[in-house]
């Protein structure tokens, strides 16, 4: 992975749920997990059609350094736009790079 290609900042978020003192569920809040350097690429043309065949409405590919704990349960924001993670791909299964297929 070339560090120069990771030229945009994205923030990873998770929903924090919980219960109050009486056991009633609390409303979900987004809690920042971390802000990382990434490459954000909107999918277009054939890439978009191929991604749609495998995923539901994947519109964006986000590439970042490997970070443990990144799952489809997280959300991503980039320049004020929020993305849902459809899938997380550990490129070459080596723990070096993650590709997030997102919709948003």
Question: How many domains is the chain partitioned into structurally?
Answer: 1
Average of per-residue pLDDT across 55-83: 90
Length of the chain: 104
Tokens 């999918």 belong to residue: 43
Average pLDDT, the chain: 84
Average of per-residue pLDDT across 30-44: 91
Question: Tell me, what's the pLDDT at 26?
Answer: 73
The range of the structural domain enclosing residue 74 comes to 3-18+25-103
Beta carbons within 8 Å of 91's beta carbon, 6+ residues apart? 97, 98, 99
Tokens 């409303």 belong to residue: 27
Helix, strand, coil fractions of the chain, as percent rounded to 5: 15, 55, 30
Q: What is the number of other CB atoms lying within 10 angstroms of the CB of residue 52?
A: 14
CATH of the domain at 58: 2.40.10.270
DSSP of 62-84, one letter per residue? EEEE--TT--TTSEEEETTEEEE
DSSP of 4-49, one letter per residue? GG--EEEEEEEEEEEE-TTSPEEEEEEEEEEEEEEEEEE--HHHHH
Residue 30 has pLDDT above 70, yes or no: yes
């Amino acid at each position: 992975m070339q560090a120069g290609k990771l030229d945009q900042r994205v923030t990873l978020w998770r929903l924090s749920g919980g219960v109050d003192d009486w056991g009633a569920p609390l409303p979900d809040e987004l809690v920042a997990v971390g802000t990382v350097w990434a490459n954000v690429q909107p999918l277009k043309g054939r890439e978009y059609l191929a991604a749609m065949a495998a995923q539901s409405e994947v519109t964006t590919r986000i590439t970042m350094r490997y970070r443990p704990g990144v799952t489809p349960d997280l959300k991503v924001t980039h320049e004020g736009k929020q993305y849902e993670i459809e899938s997380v791909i550990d490129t070459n299964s080596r723990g070096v790079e993650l590709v997030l297929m997102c919709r948003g």
